[in-house]
A and B are shown apart, each in its own frame.
Chain A
């Protein structure tokens, strides 16, 4: 028998840690989504698709900028000392992933923006002459455009990893103590981005390609999950107890039904059928993937806060 009574009652901590609510999972999800978008649009830049379509190189990065701004706004909403926000950018703390993240975001914004200059669609040409001039200059240097693609893919990868590394750096939360977490979030971000593009693109080639890619990402995600879970299960007792929160604890229903079932397995099956032309492409699978990705962030953030040392 163990009976522990603690007289402390600090808001946000007791009886259970709940310092982060919807803002952080939303931020992590949007961050992951944008990361995936950057990788995809960077890839399309490398593929030279900007030459025949403006969707993936103009509209997509713009959408990403908006999504990322929303994400950052959610993060801002979470801060308790909002007026001191600028303090983040008065320093660089080498040991703090959050500091790395803040600066990373500072680079991501211009990188995404530069992407949008590669090819300005006709309706927008002549609106801001300066941008037109820069776009023209870029197009004179195909190598630079390639590098922009590479830069977007690279930053996207870093951003996707960051969302996971941020959590896994918290040694005090056993559920997050997994080297697989960055992979999980990266792959989930990619799959969400693929689903997102799939959902909104008007280009059949892109849709087909991304549906296939998403199937690969979703399959990969299942394997990463396997690694994540078995890693924690075989770690110390506290880690074991932490992952049990997902497996058969209070978070199990959401985890199994929404994240694994409806978020991965069902859309995977639907999309496998779709790419094999057994069924038509519908928005169902990508929407499920997106919701699954969002729920994943919620579950990991909430259950992670629930998990603790003893």
Chain B
């Protein structure tokens, strides 16, 4: 730290201290995070917790050897992991040891985005934030602060911000991920698929994957069950423009033209209905508006779908018949990351309806009815009521958005409409990579009076922050209980396994301390998180000590299939499965799915597709040394024949240039027989530009950077991101 910045820093803190002192009067410093002496002990200790490298939250057991973290394994008691973690969970060790981690709170000391910081104490950081938040509340009202929080770790910050008075709390898991799917299923069945998905993959006799690239998408239980289904000889049908890992297990691989899935779905349903192969009894009993729906399918013959999708009519018929053959144990997987083309909620509705035709909702090998334990929340005082309502969806523009829309808040921050947003709290979401069109995100950030980022590494979003708060990684902290909706009820505990290496703190501590500094201490009636957890567990009749020892407490299994006695009821207006949706009609949308064409790439350009690599989670694991050792950079997949034409071979470096002339970092070519000639594919999350990520910086390219265009789903506001086209420009300097 230069002496100059040191002086400047002292000035800031002197100013903030006086402001904060009023609030500090009733803010008792919470006790320091627990440091049980057991952790310094010699020998081997095994401590159960649950994983946080993605949102699946698998039960895990960490092994500590002579006080040093050694490995993390699956907890055999845990129904999610069944004792085995996915590669990211196994490599979670690297999150603790990552040398590029954030270490101390930081306050920006030059322009936004310059990544120039001042290290400050926690008290100084909180005082600074509190001052800004008071000002925003005074000038614009509490709604002008929004919280973006992804994952269970955000629970306490949400509480603090609700106490502060804002209703604007969101995550990219809706409008950038599963939102369209959930809207489509909710419109059809009155219920969502949920996360973890309520799919009975392991018992499916026929499994249809439309893009869902299980095996690369490593959501643990799903992959385990997928392997079970494959091992049991289930018929696997995969529609994907890329010969995915799942496709390599398929009996029928359909190399579909990107963006035409709705045509395929409609043609499948056409075959099932016209050939009378659908589950008539189920549809008669539970269906609503089937006749209108059936009539609407008339034009969608396999012959019609052929030129759209590139899938031969015979193949469409054969696969439809195969689905019918195994019904109701045919599962058409609902997908998860479904924000593709902007008509995604309707496509998801078609998936829901195809499942309905097969009678799989409620059936073994289809969709089960999940169960969960009853663990009451902590009895907090009521939150202040907001007069203005949420900012993200003015006038209910997206009538079927049942969760807040990140990009809606972003838009409001840019336009100031319906009301200004002046502060962002960002917890565990790298908005620069997670939201489409980076430029809009940066524009919104430039309108803010305060941007606080809580993260574990100096990712891109932290680079734009006014205040960066370093969090202890999941292996170093308590979090809220995981009371999961799954095949069987259970509750899981995350508890610290090792100490945080520096001055990083758990989110609960930050959230509580911040609330206290802001004079909201009454919302934290508990002393520390152990008291909080103990309180919740005791209220549920469970033992905190037992949970600490076992990591998981399971409840009594309940019937999860209709024929076992699980209720098969539908929370739609008609109380039935809505083949024809009056809700949609009333809102001015197609009541049955209707196919529309999407623009195709111009000559010489390719559609940019993206997805997951099994060893990385989004943009959060590239600096994890263990996982980056598995895959240090991403590659651009291109059809080998096309590559030859472009005189490219595997290992060459190219830059991708999109339709808006945005050029990516250099990325290595993977010339392969595993992809269609009209698209290219890359793994999301690479191409980091944050300088603090010393290891990941500049490795590979970022799909997000190239996603300057997105198609907003009119039903629910999701951002379809598969609509960008790129060309490849050879890069001479590497290779």
Contacts and interface: CB of A to CB of B under 8 A. Distances in A.
A1 B630 contact: no
Nearest to A7: B630
A3 B673 contact: yes
A3 B630 contact: no
B689 interface: no
Nearest to B674: A3
A3 B641 CA distance: 13
B629 to A, nearest CB: 8
Interface string A250-268: 0000000000000000000
Contacts of A7: 630-631
Interface string A1-42: 101010100000000000000000000000000000000000
A3 B672 CA distance: 7
Interface string B665-691: 000001011100000000000000000
A5 B613 CA distance: 15
A171 B673 CA distance: 33
Nearest to B672: A3
Contacts of A1: 640, 673
Contacts of B673: 1, 3
A1 B631 CA distance: 25
B702 to A, nearest CB: 22
Contacts of A5: 670
Nearest to B615: A7
Nearest to A1: B673
Contacts of B672: 3
B616 to A, nearest CB: 13
A4 to B, nearest CB: 11
B674 to A, nearest CB: 8
A202 to B, nearest CB: 55
A143 B631 CA distance: 69
A201 B597 CA distance: 88
Nearest to B671: A3
A7 B635 CA distance: 13
A51 B515 CA distance: 104
Interface in A52-92: none
A5 B671 CA distance: 11
Nearest to B630: A7
Nearest to B631: A7
A1 B639 CA distance: 13
A3 B630 CA distance: 20
A7 B670 CA distance: 13
A191 to B, nearest CB: 41
Contacts of B670: 5
Contacts of B640: 1, 3
A250 to B, nearest CB: 16
Nearest to A15: B651
B552 to A, nearest CB: 32
Nearest to A2: B673
A7 B674 CA distance: 17
A3 B675 CA distance: 13
Contacts of B630: 7
A297 B673 CA distance: 40
A3 B670 CA distance: 11
Contacts of B631: 7
A7 B640 CA distance: 20
A286 B673 CA distance: 54
Count chain B CB atoms within 10 A of each CB in A1, A3, A7 and give the residue with the most. A3
A124 to B, nearest CB: 60
Interface string B625-648: 000001100000000100000000
A248 B507 CA distance: 64
A1 B672 CA distance: 10
A127 B674 CA distance: 78
A2 to B, nearest CB: 10
Contacts of A3: 640, 672-674
A223 B263 CA distance: 70
B714 to A, nearest CB: 41
B103 to A, nearest CB: 30
A5 B670 CA distance: 10
B625 to A, nearest CB: 14
Nearest to B670: A5
B89 to A, nearest CB: 18
Interface in B671-717: 672-674
A1 B630 CA distance: 26
B694 to A, nearest CB: 20
B499 to A, nearest CB: 33
A41 B62 CA distance: 69
A3 B673 CA distance: 8
A3 B674 CA distance: 10
Interface in B605-663: 630-631, 640
A140 B670 CA distance: 76
A63 to B, nearest CB: 47
Nearest to B632: A9
A7 B632 CA distance: 11
A87 to B, nearest CB: 30
A1 to B, nearest CB: 6
A1 B641 CA distance: 11
A1 B640 CA distance: 10
Nearest to B635: A5
Interface in B377-435: none
A284 B234 CA distance: 75
A1 B673 CA distance: 8
A3 to B, nearest CB: 6
A24 to B, nearest CB: 28
B191 to A, nearest CB: 40
A120 B642 CA distance: 75
A7 B87 CA distance: 14
A76 to B, nearest CB: 32
A5 B672 CA distance: 10
A154 B570 CA distance: 94
A3 B640 CA distance: 10
A160 B38 CA distance: 64
A7 B672 CA distance: 15
Nearest to B629: A9
A303 B670 CA distance: 26
A7 B615 CA distance: 12
A5 B650 CA distance: 10
Nearest to B651: A15
A251 B631 CA distance: 32
A15 to B, nearest CB: 9
A94 B139 CA distance: 88
A1 B674 CA distance: 12
Interface in A112-150: none
A254 B640 CA distance: 32
A13 to B, nearest CB: 15
Interface string A262-287: 00000000000000000000000000
B715 to A, nearest CB: 40
B642 to A, nearest CB: 14
B231 to A, nearest CB: 23
B39 to A, nearest CB: 34
Interface string B298-310: 0000000000000
B100 to A, nearest CB: 21
B122 to A, nearest CB: 41
Given A1-B640, A3-B674, A7-B630, 6 more contacts: A1-B673, A3-B640, A3-B672, A3-B673, A5-B670, A7-B631
9 contacts: A1-B640, A1-B673, A3-B640, A3-B672, A3-B673, A3-B674, A5-B670, A7-B630, A7-B631
Instruction: Name the 4 nearest CB pairs between A and B, nearest first.
Output: A1-B673, A3-B673, A3-B672, A7-B630
Interface of B: 630-631, 640, 670, 672-674
